[in-house]
Amino acid sequence: MPTTPAAAISRPQRLTGSLRRWFDSSATAEAGDGVRIDWVRTAPFIGLHLACFAVLWVGVSGTALAVAAGTYAIRMFAITAFYHRYFAHRTFRTSRALQFVFACLGASCVQRGPLWWAAHHRRHHLHADTPSDPHSPRHGFLRSHMLWFLTSAAFATDWRRIPDLARYPELRWLDRYDVIVPVAFAALVYASGALLARCAPALGTSGGQLLTWGFFVSTVVLFHVTVTINSLAHRFGTRRFATRDDSRNNAWLALLTFGEGWHNNHHRFPGSVRQGFRWWEVDLTYYGLRLMALCGLVQGLKPVPARVLKDGAR
Ligand SMILES: [Zn+2]
Ligand SMILES: [Zn+2]
């Protein structure tokens, strides 16, 4: 999709363009200067954070906390196993149907579509911690954590980096209308809470309460934990491998992100499905994928080559 130089766009055109991009990510894109934040386009993202304050009105219950933990866990797995290890790195194979199911689950995390996500991540690996890296902490902590993707320059999907994924029309559709799945997911969570309030009032929950905890709070926590891998895992931790970037292994981040915190391992060999290279490097995503492989749902899990493991033992 062609982009229009920023200077050639009037203020009202810019505003309507940003609003259209709420619903259609392929709506006319404005070529950004790389640093300007598109506040109108990112208003829903800010609104998602503000919506968490609804906890003050809806209260809390054991049911709401359990649902929040459940939606966090399922969607963290979708992001790490599929958005990252499958779409971005192709470290295993699966059926086209399951590919779409997990693409939808990943899209419910409000981290944009799978093609946008994979394209930016491939660029990160190619240029890690150089000026061309979209989110290196060398550009500043906040920029690496979240400001980078709020800019107009980072908005478009870079189709040149994902020809292998762009051939699936259903993935292109999901990527273009990336707002549909999160809205549908939020509606489902609300409806479940409303149903429980009616059928099982003893659980002490409601539609508004489940929506707040199971969608707003869970999604915001999930988002910030995910992006610590861009910000903190390139700053804090140990370096087993002398990679050309600043990646680190960090056990705390690995626990929170289901294995992604073994980021120095990952930068050393991104082609492996496994990121915890030692038996004690807990990698929940890898265990989940092993289980899925046992059930025949995924195949061809790519291992860490022996020479890489030997390298790291020194
Ligand atoms: Zn990295
Ligand atoms: Zn990666």
Q: Convert the pLDDT of each residue in 19-69 to its tens digit.
A: 777 777 877 655 555 578 888 888 999 999 999 999 999 999 999 999 999
For residue 287, pLDDT beyond 90: yes
- pLDDT averaged over every residue in the chain: 92
267 C-alpha vs ligand 1 centroid, how far in Å? 6
Distance CA 12, CA 229 (A): 37
The reported pLDDT for the residue numbered 187 is 98
The reported pLDDT for the residue numbered 314 is 61
For residue 179, pLDDT beyond 80: yes
Q: Is this model's pTM higher than 0.75 or not?
A: yes
Give, to the nearest 10 degrees, the angle between helix 96-107 and helix 180-199: 80
The reported pLDDT for the residue numbered 167 is 97
Distance CA 282, CA 191 (A): 35
| pLDDT band for position 228 (cuts 50, 70, 90) | very high
- The residues pairing with 93 across neighbouring beta strands, listed in sequence order, are 299
108 C-alpha vs ligand 1 centroid, how far in Å? 23
Q: Which ligand is nearest to the CA of 272?
A: 2
Where is average pLDDT lowest: 13-22, 51-60, 220-229, 305-314? 13-22
For residue 96, pLDDT beyond 70: yes
* Token digits of residue 8: 């050639």
150 C-alpha vs ligand 2 centroid, how far in Å? 21
The reported pLDDT for the residue numbered 208 is 97
For residue 269, pLDDT beyond 80: yes
Q: Which ligand is nearest to the CA of 135?
A: 1
The DSSP code sequence of the chain is --EEEGGGS-HHHHHHHHHHHHH-TTS-EEEP-SS-B-TTTTHHHHHHHHHGGGHHHH---HHHHHHHHHHHHHHHHIIIIIIIIIIIT--SEE-HHHHHHHHHHHHTTSS--HHHHHHHHHHHHHTTTSTT-TT-GGG-HHIIIIIHHHBGGGTS--GGG-HHHHT-HHHHHHHHTTTHHHHHHHHHHHHHHHHHHHH-GGG---HHHHIIIIIIIHHHHHHHHHHHHHHGGGTSSB-SS--SS---B-HHHHHHTTTTTBHHHHHH-TT-S----STTS--HHHHHHHHHHHTTSEE-PPPPPHHHHHHHH-
For residue 147, pLDDT beyond 60: yes
Where is average pLDDT lowest: 22-26, 215-219, 232-236, 287-291? 22-26
Contacts of 96 (CB under 8 A, 6+ apart): 168
Q: Which ligand is nearest to the CA of 128?
A: 1
Mean of pLDDT values over 63-86? 98
For residue 177, pLDDT beyond 50: yes
20 C-alpha vs ligand 1 centroid, how far in Å? 32
234 C-alpha vs ligand 1 centroid, how far in Å? 6
The reported pLDDT for the residue numbered 32 is 53
The reported pLDDT for the residue numbered 2 is 47
95 C-alpha vs ligand 1 centroid, how far in Å? 28
Place of tokens 């993707």: 149
The length of the chain in residues reads 314
Q: Which ligand is nearest to the CA of 136?
A: 1
* Token digits of residue 294: 């046992």
For residue 84, pLDDT beyond 80: yes
Q: Are strands 93-94 and 29-31 parallel, antiparallel or unpaired?
A: unpaired
Amino acid, res. 205: T
